[in-house]
Amino acid sequence: MFVLGIETSCDETAVAVYHANRGLIAHTLFSQIATHAEYGGVVPELASRDHIRKLVPLIKTVLAAADLQAKHINGIAYTAGPGLMGSLLVGAATARSLAWAWQIPAIAVHHMEGHLLAPMLEDTPPAFPFVALLISGGHTMLIEVQGIGNYRLLGESLDDAAGEAFDKTAKMLGLDYPGGPKLAELANQGHPRFKFPRPMTDRPGLDFSFSGLKTFTLNALNETGQSPQDKADIAFAFQQAVAETLTIKCRRAIQLTGLKTLVVAGGVSANREIRRQLSAMADSANIKIYFPRPDFCTDNGAMIAYAGGQRLIAGQTQNLEIFARPRWPMEQLPQL
């Protein structure tokens, strides 16, 4: 079974083909970073217009790269939410129309289930059950995962998501959008100097709060002459605070659930220091840890083709509704 995956939830247009037995066949992506950079963030109307321009050409590119024709595709998986409504509608309407024309099923995929299952595309995939830490631009969640669609939320961010905190802090340090990866680079030049808090680690529970770190960034900036080295030291302190906070909460989630496997996914899981600290914790706790390859931490079509593919292979189908949900709790997903 060949599954075409379509991702258009935010500022990446991404397409992939996944095969039930052969795995990932081809994938491609166009990032709209250049379009939004001058505004310092994603402009929803520009995003949806660009998805319209890029999606069909990218589908053609992926089919050609996979050496496949439309008639070979057996199902379509598209991101139906959460995300920007206009952007989601481009993917959903295109996927539904193609499925109608090609007389094949299409399935709505939850973007965060896509992120969650991205490590399944690697050579040594994790086995259920596991604890998942999802850290992305819009979400920070700890989830107990018993299987596909069997999710129990253990904790989440009460304010800024981890990626959002990276991006906002980067902006305060004068870095261009999207600042997360740039802040990480700057932190490499930094030294231990400022002490930032590890929010909500001094009380029980698995929720997060990252918005308070902005105040510490601001105070540190005001204390210094804001030289490149000052900024690098602040970036270092911020990154350490986030990495250590995530690590403490993951250790706690592992202890609480008794599970032996940790899966970390979403854009922020590309961060080298966060990967390093979480891996060290996993080693010392004697548990297994899994990440997606760096390219599949951030948005991509492969994770959508995979997640939707699993549901299609299991025989799950949907009616012809163009399904798009800007907000969509993961617990509402059907179990596979």
Exactly one of 11, 113, 160, 230 binds Mg ion (CB under 5 A); that residue is 11
Nearest to 319, CA basis, from 115, 38, 107: 107
Question: Please, what is the minimum distance in Å from the beta carbon of residue 111 to Fe ion?
Answer: 6
Residue nearer to ligand ATP on the CB measure, 190 or 267 = 267
Residue nearer to Fe ion on the CB measure, 164 or 233 = 164
Site string for Mg ion, 285-324 (x = CB under 5 A): --------------x-------------------------
Exactly one of 5, 75, 81, 180 binds ligand ATP (CB under 6 A); that residue is 180
Q: Does 10 bind ligand ATP (CB under 6 A)?
A: yes
Task: Annotate 132-144 with three-state secondary structure.
Answer: EEEECCCCEEEEE
Under rule CB under 6 A, which residues in 260-279 are in contact with ligand ATP? Answer: 266-268, 270-271
Residue nearer to Fe ion on the CB measure, 186 or 270 = 270
Interface residues with Fe ion (CB under 5 A) are 136, 299
Q: Does 230 bind Mg ion (CB under 5 A)?
A: no
Report how far apart, in Å, the C-alpha atoms of 36 and of each of 164, 302, 311 are. 16, 24, 34
**Cα gap 92→98, rounded to integer Å:** 10
Exactly one of 5, 81, 178, 292 binds ligand ATP (CB under 6 A); that residue is 178
What are the percentages of helix, strand and coil residues in the chain, rounded to 5?
Answer: 45, 20, 35
Q: Does 233 bind Mg ion (CB under 5 A)?
A: no
**Cα gap 92→63, rounded to integer Å:** 19
Question: Please, what is the minimum distance in Å from the beta carbon of residue 89 to Mg ion?
Answer: 17
Residue nearer to Mg ion on the CB measure, 9 or 277 = 9
What does 33-80 look like in DSSP terms, one character per residue? Answer: HHHHHTTTS--HHHHHHHHHHHHHHHHHHHHHHTT--GGG--EEEEEE
